[in-house]
């Protein structure tokens, strides 16, 4: 495993988007499919990345915390619109 250190903001969606973008680049540069990204912030974090070249996909794994839960519902008139 290769440890990648980046100075990314702590915002979670930014972190994962950045790792999805950086993993293919570094996988090609280093000739490896599996990488580890470390978040350098007060809370810290580790993201395991695996680049699947033939599918052009990045798999991410790591620990997470649930910050919100809920159910999304559409209004009934969404289903019964008249023209």
Tell me which of 41 and 60 has the higher pLDDT: 60
Task: State residue 40's pLDDT score.
Answer: 74
Question: Three-state secondary structure along 14-53?
Answer: HHHHHHHHHHHHHHHHHCCCEEEEEECCCCCEEEEEEEEH
- Pairing outcome for strands 2-6 and 34-39: parallel
Q: Which residues contact 76 (CB under 8 A, 6 or more apart)?
A: none
Q: Which residue has the tokens 């699947």?
A: 52
The tens digit of pLDDT for each residue in 23-59 reads 999 999 999 999 988 877 777 778 899 999 999 999 9
Facing residues of 51 across strands?
Answer: 58
- Residue % of the chain over a pLDDT of 70: 70
Q: What is the pTM assigned to this prediction? A: 0.58
């Amino acid at each position: 495993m290769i440890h990648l250190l980046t100075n990314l903001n702590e915002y979670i969606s930014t972190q994962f988007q950045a790792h999805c973008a950086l993993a293919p680049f570094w996988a090609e540069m280093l000739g490896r499919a599996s990488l580890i990204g470390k978040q350098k912030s007060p809370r810290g974090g580790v993201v395991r990345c695996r680049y699947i070249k033939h599918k052009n996909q990045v798999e991410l794994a790591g620990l997470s915390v649930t910050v919100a839960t809920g159910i999304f519902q559409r209004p009934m008139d969404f289903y019964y619109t008249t023209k």
